[in-house]
Amino acid sequence: MRVAYFDTVGGVSGDMTLAAFVSAGLKIDDLIEEIGKLNLGGIELEASHLQRSGITAVKLDVIVSAPQEHHRNLAEIVSIINQSSLSERVKEDARKIFMEVAKAEAKIHDTTIEKIHFHEVGALDSIVDIVGAAVCFEKFGIQSVYSSPVKLGSGGFVDSAHGKLPLPGPAAAEILKDYPTVLTDVPYELTTPTGAAIIKAMSLGTLAWDRFRVETIGYGAGTREIPQIPNLLRIMIGELAPSYEEEELVAVETNIDDMNPEIYPFVIEQLLSHGANDAYLVPVIMKKGRPGILLSALANRSRLDEILSVIFSQTTTLGVRIQPIERRKLQRSQRVVRTQLGEVKVKVIALNGKERLIPEHEECKRLAIEKKIPLLEVYRILEKELSG
């Protein structure tokens, strides 16, 4: 899975994000071409190289020569995005980022998302930053985003359309609620509302480094020199190995060739009810050409005595084989979802940051009986709706 990791060395802003992606290999001309699809006019992008603490980074400036209209509402910004010829993915990601800003501003000003008017974030340069970030994700084929805990400045003030605001800025702080952050003693605005919104809307959280293979690194520079830290955003791009749940099980097996086959279904039921994760039968040919059955059960070692008790009391075997087994499985949970057939309990399978919904068999049976439709049709309807 292709991943972008935001290392917020000196915080994060919109222009630092674009600069870091350019540093990582995105052609500035490609970014300019995509931004041109917004049909805003009077906008130029300029990239230059400089050093922060001896690290070469890209500084990107959005130069606006057109008349500025700072006070746009969410509907106006969404209209600009929707009417552009940008890809659907870029449009969707840009709308998600702006929605994070809108929710925060509405909370701070005690109004609704529909009534909120963006100030700094409604300006053309901020629109370019947010849409540009969405473009970067698409250009690099990013499937998931992660970040370090986001660094915030404190102990100072920042100028805004509402006057001087304390650091961390109210909008950035509101956006990053419930997201890992670090409150530094740097008296400057390290993370802007735009940067905070990019992280909150796109990131899945922090990252387990043992699964991440870095391929490309880019550095985006902030505007000012900061004595305490390098004013940089580092973006690392690479591949992330799938995340599996791991557990240690034991496999209990025995060969049986002298038991009434009608007993096997009951044995399987008993094994499962006594804690086996799985139990199954395999036909085998035993010594002297005799047909037999290989009975197998998988269970947590803590349930081993119960599994042995079932096998020895319910079958004719005189001994079993026990082997440790390492199992890896996809993350899963249950959820109730509303469908055209009513509420349905489904399995939620997580893989590479995405979810797959699978209807439970017993739920499908229930719906087939209640709705008086074939079970096959129930599966067809639910699979189509849940995959949409």
Domain ranges of the chain: 2-240, 245-329, 331-386
- Report the first-to-last Cα separation within the chain, whole angstroms: 21
Coil, helix or strand at residue 355: strand
Percent of residues in the chain assigned helix, strand, coil, to nearest 5: 35, 35, 30
Contact 252, 49 (CB under 8 A): no
Contact 152, 173 (CB under 8 A): yes
From residue 83, how far is each of 91, 100, 179 by CA, in Å? Answer: 10, 21, 32
Q: Average pLDDT by consecutive 10-residue portion of the chain (388 residues)? A: 94 97 97 94 91 95 75 86 96 95 86 71 81 97 94 81 78 93 93 95 87 94 92 96 81 96 96 96 93 96 95 96 90 83 86 77 92 93 84
User: Of 80, 71, 81, 164, which is closest to residue 115 (Cα–Cα)?
Assistant: 71
Contact 347, 263 (CB under 8 A): no
Structure tokens at 284: 């085998």
DSSP structural state of residue 302:
G
- β-bridge pairing 291-300 and 163-166: unpaired
Angle between helix 124-139 and 14-23 (nearest 10): 40
- What is the rounded CA–CA span in Å between residue 47 and residue 62? 9
For 26, the enclosing helix (H) or strand (E) is none
- β-bridge pairing 43-52 and 55-64: antiparallel
What is the radius of gyration, based on Cα positions, of the chain?
29
CA atoms within 13 A on the CB side of 227: 2
Residue 119's pLDDT is what? 56
Residue 250 forms beta bridges with which residues? Answer: 299, 324
Contact 39, 232 (CB under 8 A): no
DSSP structural state of residue 68:
P
Residue 388's pLDDT is what? 63
DSSP structural state of residue 205:
-
Q: Where are the strands (E) in the chain, listed by range?
A: 2-7, 43-52, 55-64, 72-73, 117-118, 144-147, 150-152, 157-160, 163-166, 181-183, 212-221, 232-240, 245-256, 278-285, 291-300, 321-329, 331-339, 342-351, 354-359
Structure tokens at 383: 């699979």
| Domain 245-329 sits in CATH 3.30.70.1380 | yes
Residue 160's pLDDT is what? 66
Coil, helix or strand at residue 45: strand
Structure tokens at 257: 């060739």
